[in-house]
Structure 1
Amino acid sequence: MAVLMGRLLRACGARALDQDRACRITAAYLKAAQPRAWTGAPRGAGAAAARRYSSESKDELRVRYLHGEDAGIVVVEINRPKAKNSISKNLVKLMFEAVDDIKKNNKVRSVVLCSVVPGVFCAGADLKERAKMAQSEVGPFVSKARALITELGNLPVPVIAAIDGAALGGGLEMALACDIRIASNSAKLGLVETKLAIIPGAGGTQRLPRVIGVSLAKELIFAARVVDGQEASRLGLVSRCVEQNKSGDAAYLEALELAREINPQGPIAIRMAKLAINQGIEVDLSTGLAIEEACYAQVIPTKDRLEGLAAFKEKRRPNFRGE
Protein backbone atom coordinates (compact mmCIF):
# COMPACT_ATOMS: atom_id res chain seq x y z
CA MET A 1 0.00 0.00 0.00
CA ALA A 2 2.80 2.43 0.88
CA VAL A 3 4.48 1.69 -2.46
CA LEU A 4 1.25 2.47 -4.32
CA MET A 5 0.81 5.71 -2.40
CA GLY A 6 4.38 6.66 -3.24
CA ARG A 7 3.86 5.95 -6.95
CA LEU A 8 0.73 8.04 -7.05
CA LEU A 9 2.26 10.93 -5.15
CA ARG A 10 5.36 10.93 -7.33
CA ALA A 11 3.26 10.87 -10.49
CA CYS A 12 1.11 13.70 -9.23
CA GLY A 13 4.11 15.74 -8.14
CA ALA A 14 5.90 15.13 -11.44
CA ARG A 15 3.04 16.85 -13.23
CA ALA A 16 3.20 19.98 -11.06
CA LEU A 17 0.06 19.17 -9.09
CA ASP A 18 0.34 20.70 -5.63
CA GLN A 19 0.95 18.36 -2.70
CA ASP A 20 -2.48 18.95 -1.21
CA ARG A 21 -4.26 17.94 -4.40
CA ALA A 22 -2.12 14.84 -4.75
CA CYS A 23 -2.93 13.85 -1.19
CA ARG A 24 -6.64 14.33 -1.82
CA ILE A 25 -6.49 12.02 -4.85
CA THR A 26 -4.63 9.38 -2.86
CA ALA A 27 -7.04 9.69 0.08
CA ALA A 28 -10.01 9.19 -2.23
CA TYR A 29 -8.34 6.14 -3.74
CA LEU A 30 -7.58 4.62 -0.34
CA LYS A 31 -11.07 5.32 0.96
CA ALA A 32 -12.75 3.65 -2.01
CA ALA A 33 -10.34 0.70 -1.94
CA GLN A 34 -10.98 0.01 1.74
CA PRO A 35 -13.28 -3.04 2.11
CA ARG A 36 -16.46 -2.40 4.06
CA ALA A 37 -18.16 -4.95 6.26
CA TRP A 38 -21.85 -5.68 6.01
CA THR A 39 -23.30 -4.48 9.29
CA GLY A 40 -26.66 -6.20 9.13
CA ALA A 41 -30.00 -5.98 7.35
CA PRO A 42 -30.31 -2.66 5.54
CA ARG A 43 -33.32 -0.39 5.74
CA GLY A 44 -35.98 -1.52 3.34
CA ALA A 45 -34.54 -5.01 2.88
CA GLY A 46 -36.95 -7.58 1.57
CA ALA A 47 -38.22 -9.28 -1.52
CA ALA A 48 -38.78 -7.18 -4.62
CA ALA A 49 -42.29 -5.80 -4.26
CA ALA A 50 -44.66 -4.30 -6.80
CA ARG A 51 -43.81 -0.69 -7.68
CA ARG A 52 -46.58 1.56 -6.43
CA TYR A 53 -46.77 4.96 -4.83
CA SER A 54 -48.25 6.16 -1.55
CA SER A 55 -48.96 9.53 0.01
CA GLU A 56 -47.60 8.51 3.41
CA SER A 57 -44.76 10.84 4.48
CA LYS A 58 -42.91 7.94 6.11
CA ASP A 59 -42.86 6.27 2.72
CA GLU A 60 -41.21 9.14 0.81
CA LEU A 61 -38.20 7.01 -0.04
CA ARG A 62 -38.18 3.27 -0.59
CA VAL A 63 -35.04 1.18 -0.73
CA ARG A 64 -35.36 -2.32 -2.17
CA TYR A 65 -32.47 -4.77 -1.98
CA LEU A 66 -33.33 -7.28 -4.67
CA HIS A 67 -33.04 -11.03 -4.17
CA GLY A 68 -32.36 -14.16 -6.19
CA GLU A 69 -30.57 -13.63 -9.50
CA ASP A 70 -30.87 -9.87 -8.93
CA ALA A 71 -29.10 -9.99 -5.56
CA GLY A 72 -26.65 -7.10 -5.37
CA ILE A 73 -28.96 -4.63 -7.11
CA VAL A 74 -30.47 -1.90 -4.93
CA VAL A 75 -33.46 0.09 -6.18
CA VAL A 76 -33.90 3.51 -4.54
CA GLU A 77 -37.37 4.88 -5.25
CA ILE A 78 -38.47 8.47 -4.63
CA ASN A 79 -42.10 8.61 -3.58
CA ARG A 80 -43.59 12.08 -2.94
CA PRO A 81 -46.60 12.11 -5.29
CA LYS A 82 -48.25 15.23 -3.87
CA ALA A 83 -45.03 17.23 -4.17
CA LYS A 84 -43.82 15.81 -7.52
CA ASN A 85 -40.90 14.18 -5.71
CA SER A 86 -39.47 17.60 -4.85
CA ILE A 87 -36.48 17.71 -2.53
CA SER A 88 -37.53 18.41 1.05
CA LYS A 89 -35.68 18.30 4.36
CA ASN A 90 -37.18 14.90 5.10
CA LEU A 91 -36.26 13.48 1.70
CA VAL A 92 -32.66 14.67 2.12
CA LYS A 93 -32.53 12.97 5.53
CA LEU A 94 -33.95 9.71 4.18
CA MET A 95 -31.59 9.71 1.21
CA PHE A 96 -28.56 10.31 3.43
CA GLU A 97 -29.59 7.25 5.46
CA ALA A 98 -30.07 5.15 2.33
CA VAL A 99 -26.70 6.18 0.87
CA ASP A 100 -24.98 5.42 4.17
CA ASP A 101 -26.54 1.94 4.29
CA ILE A 102 -25.43 1.23 0.73
CA LYS A 103 -21.86 2.38 1.46
CA LYS A 104 -21.63 0.00 4.42
CA ASN A 105 -22.88 -3.03 2.50
CA ASN A 106 -20.13 -4.72 0.48
CA LYS A 107 -22.69 -7.01 -1.17
CA VAL A 108 -24.15 -4.14 -3.22
CA ARG A 109 -23.06 -4.21 -6.87
CA SER A 110 -25.19 -1.49 -8.44
CA VAL A 111 -27.89 1.06 -7.60
CA VAL A 112 -30.89 2.17 -9.64
CA LEU A 113 -32.30 5.56 -8.65
CA CYS A 114 -35.84 6.09 -9.89
CA SER A 115 -39.34 7.32 -9.10
CA VAL A 116 -42.56 5.44 -8.46
CA VAL A 117 -44.64 8.56 -9.13
CA PRO A 118 -46.00 8.55 -12.70
CA GLY A 119 -44.62 11.26 -14.99
CA VAL A 120 -41.99 12.65 -12.67
CA PHE A 121 -38.44 11.78 -11.60
CA CYS A 122 -37.83 14.80 -9.35
CA ALA A 123 -39.17 18.31 -9.86
CA GLY A 124 -36.33 19.98 -7.95
CA ALA A 125 -36.45 21.78 -4.63
CA ASP A 126 -39.65 21.79 -2.60
CA LEU A 127 -40.48 25.45 -3.20
CA LYS A 128 -43.46 25.41 -0.83
CA GLU A 129 -41.17 24.30 1.99
CA ARG A 130 -38.48 26.72 0.79
CA ALA A 131 -40.91 29.66 0.96
CA LYS A 132 -41.45 28.96 4.66
CA MET A 133 -37.72 29.00 5.43
CA ALA A 134 -36.03 32.04 6.92
CA GLN A 135 -33.33 33.51 4.70
CA SER A 136 -30.71 32.20 7.11
CA GLU A 137 -32.00 28.63 6.63
CA VAL A 138 -31.77 28.54 2.83
CA GLY A 139 -27.97 28.44 2.52
CA PRO A 140 -27.47 25.57 5.02
CA PHE A 141 -30.27 23.54 3.42
CA VAL A 142 -28.82 23.95 -0.08
CA SER A 143 -25.39 22.98 1.30
CA LYS A 144 -26.87 19.83 2.81
CA ALA A 145 -28.63 18.94 -0.46
CA ARG A 146 -25.36 19.54 -2.32
CA ALA A 147 -23.53 17.27 0.13
CA LEU A 148 -26.15 14.55 -0.38
CA ILE A 149 -25.82 14.68 -4.15
CA THR A 150 -22.02 14.55 -3.81
CA GLU A 151 -22.30 11.50 -1.56
CA LEU A 152 -24.60 9.86 -4.09
CA GLY A 153 -21.98 10.41 -6.78
CA ASN A 154 -19.24 9.10 -4.49
CA LEU A 155 -20.88 5.72 -3.92
CA PRO A 156 -18.23 3.14 -4.90
CA VAL A 157 -20.64 1.15 -7.10
CA PRO A 158 -22.34 2.14 -10.38
CA VAL A 159 -25.42 4.32 -9.87
CA ILE A 160 -27.97 4.45 -12.70
CA ALA A 161 -30.62 7.17 -12.86
CA ALA A 162 -33.85 5.99 -14.50
CA ILE A 163 -35.65 9.14 -15.66
CA ASP A 164 -39.25 8.34 -16.58
CA GLY A 165 -40.57 11.87 -16.16
CA ALA A 166 -39.61 15.41 -15.26
CA ALA A 167 -36.09 15.88 -13.87
CA LEU A 168 -35.82 19.59 -13.24
CA GLY A 169 -33.45 21.74 -11.18
CA GLY A 170 -32.21 19.72 -8.24
CA GLY A 171 -33.79 16.63 -9.75
CA LEU A 172 -31.52 16.85 -12.77
CA GLU A 173 -28.57 17.70 -10.51
CA MET A 174 -29.26 14.45 -8.65
CA ALA A 175 -29.31 12.54 -11.94
CA LEU A 176 -26.09 14.25 -13.09
CA ALA A 177 -24.30 12.86 -10.02
CA CYS A 178 -25.17 9.33 -11.15
CA ASP A 179 -22.76 7.37 -13.34
CA ILE A 180 -25.29 6.60 -16.06
CA ARG A 181 -28.59 8.25 -17.00
CA ILE A 182 -31.37 6.54 -18.93
CA ALA A 183 -34.47 8.51 -19.95
CA SER A 184 -37.78 7.76 -21.59
CA ASN A 185 -38.62 9.80 -24.68
CA SER A 186 -41.36 11.55 -22.68
CA ALA A 187 -38.97 12.69 -19.93
CA LYS A 188 -38.32 16.41 -19.43
CA LEU A 189 -34.87 17.51 -18.27
CA GLY A 190 -33.55 20.95 -17.44
CA LEU A 191 -31.74 23.21 -15.01
CA VAL A 192 -34.40 25.90 -14.74
CA GLU A 193 -33.17 27.87 -11.72
CA THR A 194 -32.60 31.14 -13.61
CA LYS A 195 -36.40 31.37 -13.99
CA LEU A 196 -36.42 31.95 -10.23
CA ALA A 197 -33.48 34.38 -10.36
CA ILE A 198 -31.13 31.83 -8.77
CA ILE A 199 -28.55 29.41 -10.18
CA PRO A 200 -28.16 25.64 -9.85
CA GLY A 201 -26.81 25.14 -6.35
CA ALA A 202 -26.25 21.40 -6.01
CA GLY A 203 -23.56 20.85 -8.61
CA GLY A 204 -25.40 21.65 -11.83
CA THR A 205 -23.04 24.39 -13.00
CA GLN A 206 -20.11 21.98 -12.59
CA ARG A 207 -21.47 18.59 -13.64
CA LEU A 208 -23.51 19.63 -16.68
CA PRO A 209 -20.50 21.19 -18.51
CA ARG A 210 -18.48 18.07 -17.77
CA VAL A 211 -21.21 15.94 -19.36
CA ILE A 212 -22.24 17.92 -22.45
CA GLY A 213 -19.54 20.59 -22.79
CA VAL A 214 -19.26 24.18 -21.63
CA SER A 215 -21.05 25.96 -24.46
CA LEU A 216 -24.13 23.73 -24.51
CA ALA A 217 -24.32 23.75 -20.71
CA LYS A 218 -24.29 27.54 -20.69
CA GLU A 219 -27.04 27.61 -23.31
CA LEU A 220 -29.29 25.29 -21.32
CA ILE A 221 -28.65 27.00 -17.98
CA PHE A 222 -28.85 30.60 -19.23
CA ALA A 223 -32.10 29.94 -21.11
CA ALA A 224 -33.55 27.62 -18.42
CA ARG A 225 -34.28 25.28 -21.32
CA VAL A 226 -36.09 21.99 -20.87
CA VAL A 227 -35.38 19.15 -23.30
CA ASP A 228 -37.12 15.84 -23.85
CA GLY A 229 -35.47 12.44 -23.63
CA GLN A 230 -34.59 12.27 -27.30
CA GLU A 231 -32.92 15.67 -27.30
CA ALA A 232 -31.15 14.81 -24.04
CA SER A 233 -29.74 11.71 -25.74
CA ARG A 234 -28.59 13.74 -28.75
CA LEU A 235 -26.81 16.18 -26.45
CA GLY A 236 -25.17 13.37 -24.48
CA LEU A 237 -27.04 14.34 -21.32
CA VAL A 238 -28.36 10.77 -21.09
CA SER A 239 -26.68 7.67 -22.49
CA ARG A 240 -29.90 6.02 -23.63
CA CYS A 241 -33.42 7.13 -24.57
CA VAL A 242 -36.18 4.52 -24.66
CA GLU A 243 -39.77 4.78 -25.81
CA GLN A 244 -42.15 5.15 -22.91
CA ASN A 245 -44.51 2.25 -22.25
CA LYS A 246 -48.10 2.11 -21.00
CA SER A 247 -47.03 1.60 -17.40
CA GLY A 248 -44.73 4.64 -17.50
CA ASP A 249 -41.60 2.85 -16.31
CA ALA A 250 -39.64 2.19 -19.52
CA ALA A 251 -36.48 3.92 -18.29
CA TYR A 252 -36.62 1.99 -15.02
CA LEU A 253 -36.92 -1.34 -16.84
CA GLU A 254 -34.01 -0.40 -19.12
CA ALA A 255 -31.92 0.64 -16.09
CA LEU A 256 -32.73 -2.64 -14.36
CA GLU A 257 -31.57 -4.58 -17.42
CA LEU A 258 -28.31 -2.62 -17.41
CA ALA A 259 -27.84 -3.35 -13.69
CA ARG A 260 -28.36 -7.04 -14.49
CA GLU A 261 -25.68 -6.77 -17.16
CA ILE A 262 -23.25 -5.25 -14.63
CA ASN A 263 -24.17 -7.67 -11.83
CA PRO A 264 -22.11 -10.74 -12.88
CA GLN A 265 -18.89 -8.79 -13.47
CA GLY A 266 -16.11 -8.66 -10.88
CA PRO A 267 -17.38 -6.32 -8.13
CA ILE A 268 -13.95 -5.16 -6.97
CA ALA A 269 -12.97 -4.51 -10.57
CA ILE A 270 -16.14 -2.44 -11.12
CA ARG A 271 -15.41 -0.36 -8.02
CA MET A 272 -11.81 0.22 -9.06
CA ALA A 273 -12.84 1.08 -12.63
CA LYS A 274 -15.31 3.68 -11.33
CA LEU A 275 -12.67 5.16 -9.04
CA ALA A 276 -10.05 5.29 -11.79
CA ILE A 277 -12.45 7.02 -14.19
CA ASN A 278 -13.82 9.50 -11.67
CA GLN A 279 -10.43 10.50 -10.30
CA GLY A 280 -8.60 10.33 -13.62
CA ILE A 281 -10.99 12.57 -15.53
CA GLU A 282 -10.11 15.47 -13.21
CA VAL A 283 -6.34 15.39 -13.83
CA ASP A 284 -3.89 15.32 -16.74
CA LEU A 285 -3.42 12.08 -18.69
CA SER A 286 -0.08 11.11 -17.09
CA THR A 287 -1.51 11.46 -13.59
CA GLY A 288 -4.65 9.62 -14.68
CA LEU A 289 -2.55 6.72 -15.91
CA ALA A 290 -0.81 6.60 -12.52
CA ILE A 291 -4.22 6.47 -10.84
CA GLU A 292 -5.25 3.65 -13.16
CA GLU A 293 -2.05 1.77 -12.29
CA ALA A 294 -2.72 2.16 -8.58
CA CYS A 295 -6.32 0.97 -8.98
CA TYR A 296 -5.22 -1.97 -11.16
CA ALA A 297 -2.81 -3.01 -8.44
CA GLN A 298 -5.79 -3.47 -6.11
CA VAL A 299 -7.34 -6.20 -8.28
CA ILE A 300 -4.15 -8.28 -8.78
CA PRO A 301 -4.16 -10.02 -5.36
CA THR A 302 -7.92 -10.73 -5.30
CA LYS A 303 -9.49 -14.18 -5.32
CA ASP A 304 -11.90 -12.88 -7.95
CA ARG A 305 -9.07 -12.36 -10.44
CA LEU A 306 -7.93 -15.96 -9.98
CA GLU A 307 -11.54 -17.13 -10.31
CA GLY A 308 -11.87 -15.20 -13.56
CA LEU A 309 -8.77 -16.88 -15.00
CA ALA A 310 -9.93 -20.32 -13.84
CA ALA A 311 -13.41 -19.82 -15.32
CA PHE A 312 -11.92 -18.73 -18.63
CA LYS A 313 -9.68 -21.79 -18.74
CA GLU A 314 -12.55 -24.12 -17.79
CA LYS A 315 -15.01 -22.40 -20.16
CA ARG A 316 -17.57 -21.71 -17.47
CA ARG A 317 -19.25 -18.69 -15.96
CA PRO A 318 -17.17 -17.17 -13.13
CA ASN A 319 -18.55 -16.93 -9.61
CA PHE A 320 -17.21 -13.64 -8.24
CA ARG A 321 -17.56 -13.05 -4.49
CA GLY A 322 -15.97 -9.65 -4.11
CA GLU A 323 -12.88 -11.09 -2.45
Structure 2
Amino acid sequence: MALPGRNKGPSKFEQAANGEMTLLEHVRELRNRLFKASVSILVGFAVGMWLSGRVRSLLQQPYCELPGSINEKGECTFVQLGPADLFLLDLKIALWVGLVIAGPIWLYQLWAFIAPGLHRHERRYAYIFAAIAAPLFALGATLAFFVVQKGLEFLLSVADQSIETTLEITRYIGFVTNLILIFGVAFEFPLVVLMLNFVGLVSGRKLLSFWRVAVFVFFAFSAVVTPTPDPFGMTALAACLCLLYFIAVGVALLNDKRKGRGKEIYAGLNDDDISPIDFGDAEPVTAGARVETPSAIEPVEPVSGPAPVTPPKPIERNYDDMT
Protein backbone atom coordinates (compact mmCIF):
# COMPACT_ATOMS: atom_id res chain seq x y z
CA MET A 1 0.00 0.00 0.00
CA ALA A 2 1.45 3.34 -1.01
CA LEU A 3 1.85 5.92 1.68
CA PRO A 4 -0.14 9.16 1.26
CA GLY A 5 1.85 12.04 -0.20
CA ARG A 6 4.40 9.80 -1.95
CA ASN A 7 3.06 9.98 -5.51
CA LYS A 8 3.54 13.65 -6.18
CA GLY A 9 4.51 13.12 -9.80
CA PRO A 10 7.41 14.76 -11.64
CA SER A 11 8.48 18.21 -10.57
CA LYS A 12 8.37 21.30 -12.78
CA PHE A 13 12.08 20.94 -13.47
CA GLU A 14 11.68 17.31 -14.59
CA GLN A 15 8.67 18.16 -16.75
CA ALA A 16 10.57 20.99 -18.47
CA ALA A 17 13.68 18.86 -18.92
CA ASN A 18 11.66 16.00 -20.46
CA GLY A 19 9.76 18.34 -22.79
CA GLU A 20 6.39 17.58 -21.14
CA MET A 21 5.39 21.20 -20.56
CA THR A 22 3.27 23.06 -23.08
CA LEU A 23 3.99 26.56 -24.35
CA LEU A 24 1.42 28.10 -22.02
CA GLU A 25 2.95 26.30 -19.04
CA HIS A 26 6.38 27.67 -19.98
CA VAL A 27 4.95 31.20 -20.21
CA ARG A 28 3.19 30.75 -16.87
CA GLU A 29 6.43 29.53 -15.27
CA LEU A 30 8.34 32.50 -16.72
CA ARG A 31 5.73 34.88 -15.29
CA ASN A 32 5.97 33.33 -11.83
CA ARG A 33 9.77 33.41 -11.81
CA LEU A 34 9.87 37.03 -13.01
CA PHE A 35 7.43 37.96 -10.26
CA LYS A 36 9.58 36.29 -7.58
CA ALA A 37 12.74 37.93 -8.95
CA SER A 38 11.03 41.36 -9.01
CA VAL A 39 9.85 41.00 -5.41
CA SER A 40 13.36 40.04 -4.28
CA ILE A 41 14.84 43.06 -6.09
CA LEU A 42 12.26 45.38 -4.47
CA VAL A 43 13.13 44.02 -1.03
CA GLY A 44 16.84 44.46 -1.82
CA PHE A 45 16.12 47.99 -3.06
CA ALA A 46 14.46 48.83 0.27
CA VAL A 47 17.52 47.54 2.12
CA GLY A 48 19.73 49.48 -0.31
CA MET A 49 17.92 52.73 0.53
CA TRP A 50 18.78 52.13 4.16
CA LEU A 51 22.43 51.44 3.27
CA SER A 52 22.83 54.05 0.49
CA GLY A 53 24.38 56.67 2.76
CA ARG A 54 26.97 54.25 4.12
CA VAL A 55 27.82 52.96 0.65
CA ARG A 56 28.20 56.53 -0.62
CA SER A 57 30.54 57.33 2.26
CA LEU A 58 32.57 54.22 1.43
CA LEU A 59 32.90 55.31 -2.20
CA GLN A 60 34.00 58.79 -1.07
CA GLN A 61 36.94 57.45 0.95
CA PRO A 62 39.49 57.30 -1.93
CA TYR A 63 39.11 61.06 -2.44
CA CYS A 64 38.74 62.00 1.22
CA GLU A 65 41.99 60.21 2.13
CA LEU A 66 44.01 62.37 -0.29
CA PRO A 67 45.99 65.29 1.09
CA GLY A 68 44.25 68.59 0.41
CA SER A 69 40.73 67.15 0.26
CA ILE A 70 39.88 68.34 3.79
CA ASN A 71 38.78 71.98 4.12
CA GLU A 72 39.37 74.41 6.97
CA LYS A 73 36.51 72.90 8.98
CA GLY A 74 38.06 69.45 8.78
CA GLU A 75 35.37 68.13 6.43
CA CYS A 76 35.57 66.38 3.08
CA THR A 77 33.00 68.15 0.93
CA PHE A 78 31.53 67.64 -2.53
CA VAL A 79 29.39 69.83 -4.76
CA GLN A 80 25.76 69.21 -5.73
CA LEU A 81 24.75 71.07 -8.89
CA GLY A 82 21.04 70.19 -8.90
CA PRO A 83 18.56 70.11 -6.02
CA ALA A 84 17.65 66.45 -6.69
CA ASP A 85 21.09 65.14 -7.69
CA LEU A 86 21.91 63.60 -4.32
CA PHE A 87 18.48 62.00 -4.02
CA LEU A 88 18.73 60.47 -7.49
CA LEU A 89 22.26 59.30 -6.71
CA ASP A 90 21.04 57.55 -3.56
CA LEU A 91 18.31 55.86 -5.61
CA LYS A 92 20.90 54.63 -8.09
CA ILE A 93 23.16 53.34 -5.31
CA ALA A 94 20.16 51.65 -3.65
CA LEU A 95 19.31 49.90 -6.90
CA TRP A 96 22.85 48.57 -7.30
CA VAL A 97 22.91 47.42 -3.67
CA GLY A 98 19.49 45.82 -4.10
CA LEU A 99 20.65 43.89 -7.16
CA VAL A 100 23.68 42.62 -5.24
CA ILE A 101 21.68 41.65 -2.15
CA ALA A 102 18.92 39.94 -4.13
CA GLY A 103 21.44 38.41 -6.53
CA PRO A 104 21.19 34.83 -5.20
CA ILE A 105 17.39 34.88 -5.57
CA TRP A 106 16.96 36.41 -9.03
CA LEU A 107 19.96 34.50 -10.38
CA TYR A 108 18.41 31.27 -9.09
CA GLN A 109 15.09 32.11 -10.76
CA LEU A 110 16.89 32.79 -14.03
CA TRP A 111 18.90 29.59 -13.73
CA ALA A 112 15.85 27.48 -12.83
CA PHE A 113 14.14 28.63 -16.03
CA ILE A 114 17.16 28.01 -18.30
CA ALA A 115 18.65 24.87 -16.72
CA PRO A 116 16.03 22.34 -17.96
CA GLY A 117 17.09 23.06 -21.54
CA LEU A 118 20.72 22.11 -20.85
CA HIS A 119 22.39 18.72 -20.71
CA ARG A 120 23.62 17.35 -17.41
CA HIS A 121 27.31 18.04 -18.10
CA GLU A 122 26.43 21.58 -19.27
CA ARG A 123 24.64 22.23 -15.98
CA ARG A 124 27.67 20.94 -14.08
CA TYR A 125 29.97 23.32 -15.95
CA ALA A 126 27.57 26.20 -15.32
CA TYR A 127 27.69 25.54 -11.56
CA ILE A 128 31.49 25.61 -11.62
CA PHE A 129 31.71 28.78 -13.72
CA ALA A 130 29.13 30.60 -11.59
CA ALA A 131 31.03 29.67 -8.42
CA ILE A 132 34.24 31.12 -9.91
CA ALA A 133 32.74 34.21 -11.56
CA ALA A 134 31.55 35.93 -8.38
CA PRO A 135 34.93 35.82 -6.52
CA LEU A 136 36.75 36.98 -9.67
CA PHE A 137 34.44 39.98 -10.05
CA ALA A 138 34.83 40.83 -6.36
CA LEU A 139 38.62 40.59 -6.70
CA GLY A 140 38.62 42.96 -9.67
CA ALA A 141 36.31 45.42 -7.90
CA THR A 142 38.58 45.44 -4.83
CA LEU A 143 41.63 46.14 -6.98
CA ALA A 144 39.79 48.99 -8.72
CA PHE A 145 38.87 50.55 -5.37
CA PHE A 146 42.56 50.83 -4.45
CA VAL A 147 43.58 52.01 -7.91
CA VAL A 148 41.07 54.89 -7.75
CA GLN A 149 43.04 56.68 -5.04
CA LYS A 150 46.25 56.63 -7.10
CA GLY A 151 44.34 57.81 -10.14
CA LEU A 152 42.69 60.68 -8.29
CA GLU A 153 46.01 61.72 -6.77
CA PHE A 154 47.53 62.09 -10.23
CA LEU A 155 44.53 63.74 -11.87
CA LEU A 156 44.14 66.33 -9.12
CA SER A 157 47.86 67.11 -9.11
CA VAL A 158 47.67 68.20 -12.76
CA ALA A 159 45.62 71.27 -11.81
CA ASP A 160 47.43 74.53 -11.07
CA GLN A 161 47.89 75.65 -7.47
CA SER A 162 45.73 78.70 -8.11
CA ILE A 163 42.73 76.50 -8.93
CA GLU A 164 40.64 75.17 -6.07
CA THR A 165 39.19 71.77 -6.94
CA THR A 166 35.90 70.53 -5.53
CA LEU A 167 34.43 67.42 -7.06
CA GLU A 168 30.80 67.10 -8.12
CA ILE A 169 29.28 64.18 -6.25
CA THR A 170 27.39 62.41 -9.06
CA ARG A 171 30.28 62.55 -11.55
CA TYR A 172 32.72 61.35 -8.90
CA ILE A 173 30.55 58.38 -7.89
CA GLY A 174 30.01 57.56 -11.57
CA PHE A 175 33.79 57.61 -12.14
CA VAL A 176 34.41 55.22 -9.23
CA THR A 177 31.58 52.80 -10.08
CA ASN A 178 32.53 52.67 -13.77
CA LEU A 179 36.12 51.82 -12.88
CA ILE A 180 34.95 49.12 -10.46
CA LEU A 181 32.68 47.65 -13.15
CA ILE A 182 35.44 47.65 -15.79
CA PHE A 183 37.96 45.95 -13.49
CA GLY A 184 35.39 43.37 -12.36
CA VAL A 185 34.41 42.46 -15.93
CA ALA A 186 38.08 42.30 -16.99
CA PHE A 187 38.74 39.68 -14.33
CA GLU A 188 36.15 37.42 -16.01
CA PHE A 189 38.34 37.01 -19.12
CA PRO A 190 40.16 33.86 -17.85
CA LEU A 191 36.75 32.32 -17.27
CA VAL A 192 35.94 32.84 -20.96
CA VAL A 193 39.23 31.15 -21.85
CA LEU A 194 38.33 28.14 -19.71
CA MET A 195 34.87 27.97 -21.26
CA LEU A 196 36.35 27.81 -24.77
CA ASN A 197 38.62 24.98 -23.67
CA PHE A 198 35.93 22.98 -21.88
CA VAL A 199 33.65 23.03 -24.92
CA GLY A 200 36.54 21.84 -27.11
CA LEU A 201 37.08 24.94 -29.29
CA VAL A 202 40.71 25.51 -28.30
CA SER A 203 43.32 23.33 -26.60
CA GLY A 204 45.50 24.28 -23.67
CA ARG A 205 48.66 23.93 -25.77
CA LYS A 206 47.26 26.40 -28.30
CA LEU A 207 46.38 28.84 -25.52
CA LEU A 208 49.91 28.55 -24.14
CA SER A 209 51.36 29.38 -27.56
CA PHE A 210 49.38 32.66 -27.52
CA TRP A 211 50.89 33.91 -24.26
CA ARG A 212 52.86 36.75 -25.91
CA VAL A 213 49.76 38.07 -27.63
CA ALA A 214 47.76 37.74 -24.41
CA VAL A 215 50.32 39.69 -22.36
CA PHE A 216 50.42 42.47 -24.96
CA VAL A 217 46.61 42.67 -25.05
CA PHE A 218 46.42 42.79 -21.25
CA PHE A 219 48.90 45.66 -20.98
CA ALA A 220 47.24 47.57 -23.83
CA PHE A 221 43.81 47.10 -22.24
CA SER A 222 45.13 48.18 -18.84
CA ALA A 223 46.72 51.30 -20.34
CA VAL A 224 43.37 52.29 -21.87
CA VAL A 225 41.02 51.66 -18.94
CA THR A 226 43.18 52.96 -16.09
CA PRO A 227 42.57 56.69 -15.54
CA THR A 228 46.22 57.64 -15.00
CA PRO A 229 49.37 57.33 -17.12
CA ASP A 230 51.44 56.25 -14.12
CA PRO A 231 52.60 52.62 -14.20
CA PHE A 232 51.01 51.64 -10.87
CA GLY A 233 47.40 51.04 -11.88
CA MET A 234 48.24 49.73 -15.34
CA THR A 235 50.85 47.28 -14.03
CA ALA A 236 48.62 46.08 -11.20
CA LEU A 237 45.71 45.29 -13.52
CA ALA A 238 47.88 43.77 -16.28
CA ALA A 239 49.86 41.61 -13.83
CA CYS A 240 46.66 40.24 -12.28
CA LEU A 241 45.19 39.48 -15.71
CA CYS A 242 48.39 37.72 -16.81
CA LEU A 243 48.45 35.64 -13.63
CA LEU A 244 44.81 34.63 -14.07
CA TYR A 245 45.45 33.79 -17.74
CA PHE A 246 48.34 31.44 -16.93
CA ILE A 247 46.25 29.80 -14.20
CA ALA A 248 43.45 29.28 -16.73
CA VAL A 249 45.93 27.81 -19.24
CA GLY A 250 47.19 25.40 -16.57
CA VAL A 251 43.64 24.26 -15.83
CA ALA A 252 43.05 23.87 -19.58
CA LEU A 253 46.15 21.66 -19.91
CA LEU A 254 44.94 19.47 -17.06
CA ASN A 255 41.50 19.24 -18.67
CA ASP A 256 43.07 18.20 -21.99
CA LYS A 257 45.11 15.53 -20.23
CA ARG A 258 42.01 14.27 -18.44
CA LYS A 259 40.05 13.99 -21.69
CA GLY A 260 42.96 12.51 -23.64
CA ARG A 261 43.23 15.37 -26.10
CA GLY A 262 46.43 15.48 -28.14
CA LYS A 263 46.78 11.68 -28.38
CA GLU A 264 44.99 11.37 -31.70
CA ILE A 265 46.77 9.91 -34.72
CA TYR A 266 47.39 13.24 -36.44
CA ALA A 267 47.50 15.45 -33.32
CA GLY A 268 51.18 16.35 -33.70
CA LEU A 269 50.96 17.30 -37.38
CA ASN A 270 50.29 20.71 -38.82
CA ASP A 271 47.71 21.15 -41.52
CA ASP A 272 50.40 22.04 -44.09
CA ASP A 273 52.74 19.11 -43.32
CA ILE A 274 52.77 15.83 -45.22
CA SER A 275 51.81 12.84 -43.11
CA PRO A 276 54.74 10.39 -42.58
CA ILE A 277 54.58 7.06 -44.43
CA ASP A 278 56.44 4.05 -43.04
CA PHE A 279 57.69 1.73 -45.82
CA GLY A 280 59.44 -0.71 -43.46
CA ASP A 281 56.66 -3.31 -43.35
CA ALA A 282 55.44 -2.74 -46.90
CA GLU A 283 55.08 -5.91 -49.04
CA PRO A 284 56.67 -5.87 -52.51
CA VAL A 285 54.29 -5.49 -55.41
CA THR A 286 54.49 -8.51 -57.81
CA ALA A 287 53.16 -8.90 -61.33
CA GLY A 288 49.64 -10.19 -61.55
CA ALA A 289 48.46 -13.33 -63.42
CA ARG A 290 48.10 -13.19 -67.21
CA VAL A 291 44.63 -12.23 -68.35
CA GLU A 292 43.25 -14.29 -71.24
CA THR A 293 41.88 -12.55 -74.30
CA PRO A 294 38.11 -12.48 -74.16
CA SER A 295 36.14 -14.21 -76.93
CA ALA A 296 34.04 -12.32 -79.41
CA ILE A 297 30.48 -11.55 -78.48
CA GLU A 298 27.87 -13.33 -80.58
CA PRO A 299 25.58 -11.05 -82.55
CA VAL A 300 22.22 -10.46 -81.03
CA GLU A 301 19.08 -10.79 -83.11
CA PRO A 302 17.35 -7.50 -83.76
CA VAL A 303 14.41 -6.88 -81.54
CA SER A 304 11.17 -6.14 -83.30
CA GLY A 305 9.26 -2.98 -82.55
CA PRO A 306 6.47 -2.78 -80.03
CA ALA A 307 3.14 -4.36 -80.83
CA PRO A 308 0.44 -2.01 -82.04
CA VAL A 309 -1.98 -0.72 -79.44
CA THR A 310 -5.53 -2.08 -79.77
CA PRO A 311 -8.04 0.71 -80.31
CA PRO A 312 -10.48 1.20 -77.44
CA LYS A 313 -14.01 -0.08 -77.64
CA PRO A 314 -16.73 2.47 -78.18
CA ILE A 315 -18.24 3.93 -75.00
CA GLU A 316 -21.72 2.80 -74.17
CA ARG A 317 -24.11 5.72 -73.94
CA ASN A 318 -26.34 4.25 -71.25
CA TYR A 319 -26.21 7.26 -68.86
CA ASP A 320 -27.65 10.77 -68.85
CA ASP A 321 -25.83 14.13 -68.82
CA MET A 322 -25.58 14.32 -64.99
CA THR A 323 -23.89 10.94 -64.49
For normalisation by structure 2, the TM-score amounts to: 0.23
Between Structure 1 and Structure 2, the one with more strand by share is: 1
